[in-house]
Amino acid sequence: MAKRRANQSRPIQRPSRPASRLSSAAIRNLLLSSLPLEEQERIFSALDVTSLTVRELLHKPGELIEYVYFPGGGFCSIVTVLEDGQMVEVAAIGREGMVGVTAEAGWLPPSSAAMVQASTDVCYRMTASAFRREMDRRGAFHGVVTRYTQALMGVIMQTTACNAAHSIEQRLARWLLLARDRIGVDEFPLTQEFVAMMLGASRSTVTVVAGMLQKAGLITYRRGRLAIIDRERLESTSCECYRICTQLLRSVTEIDTEWLRA
């Protein structure tokens, strides 16, 4: 199994800027942009804008959450960290969601961590105390976050079942599609060691399966960069979990869009 110690990555202190001057059209996070205009003004006053760096740890196992994050690009992984330091991904979060939903209760599961998988120059950050205050208002923000949390729990349950029941080929196809959706481009940097860690598989197994996908013309992989060549066939190779997870998360902002138009 591929292993990486959770304490090898350390949070990076980065400069931030207020988000209050941004217009609604400029907000890149879908949860925030789906809020009613009158709600956005108050929410944005509690946000600042920062950047995220690959392999930066936003939350560590067993530590209280200080900030919640609304990515405007890139993506992060929620990972379970085992006693030997091995990490396995249970959910990927991009601009469709937020990192730190458990901050509402003021706790973090002792085995959970949040790691940046693809960098972004734009991520909206809110203190955990401000997040709890907004949730206590029981307004539109509370509704959006609650629906997202329910969808995220569905994704985690689906991923757990996928890891137990589906082949490494199906799981790799699912992961690549989810990563591509969040990064927004067909080619991106990726190491086999990294994928093995996320899937809880050995690097040699990932090497063999990635080679099969490349030989079939679905992807190309060279010098740490992967490109998706045939997305349609990659979706066919993936299990139903890609489609189910995507629909779960998409329903959150679709519901709010319909509500705003009513």
* Domain boundaries, given as residue ranges, for the chain: 6-162, 167-238
Is there a common fold for 6-162 and 167-238? no
Question: Residue 46 has what DSSP assignment?
Answer: T
pTM: 0.85
The low-confidence residues of the chain, meaning pLDDT below 70, are: 1-25, 106-110, 254-262
Residues 23, 64 contacting (CB under 8 angstroms): no
User: Distance between CA atoms of 119 and 53, rounded to whole angstroms?
Assistant: 5
How far apart CA 155 and CA 241 sit, in angstroms, is 9
Cα 74 to chain center, whole Å?
8
pLDDT of residue 62: 84
The class that CATH gives domain 6-162 is mainly beta
Q: What is the pLDDT of residue 32?
A: 95
Q: The tokens of 247 are what?
A: 């629909």
Q: Distance between CA atoms of 16 and 51, rounded to whole angstroms?
A: 8
In CATH, 167-238 is 1.10.10.10 = yes
pLDDT at 16: 63
